[in-house]
Amino acid sequence: MSTKPEIEAILPSKVAESLAKKEKLRIIDVREHNEVALGKIPGAKHIPLGEILTRLDELDENKEYIMVCRSGNRSGLASEWLTGKGFKVKNMTGGMNDWESETE
């Protein structure tokens, strides 16, 4: 039985704080198109969960990514998948449900 990789969590408030300080974050929103149409974190890259493993070529293994979805479940799954492929990721717990900053 394999053990799940330990995924580091990051709070929406911390992500908002970093963006406010103009820190360069690589955010990937794994929600569906209709969800993202309602607003996403400014600068976030949209890759629906179902496409993440077929679009790995768009990501850089040397960079860290913050995974986002509506509540934190799908982004948690995406985080596990990407960690298993050697990527450095954090999961934004609470997802867009807990996002209180601006959206685009």
Q: Is the Cβ–Cβ distance between 73 and 91 less than 8 Å? A: no
Q: Is 69 a catalytic residue?
A: yes
Out of 47, 49, 68, 69, the active site residue is 69
CB of 16 closer than 8 Å to CB of 78:
no
Catalytic residue list: 69
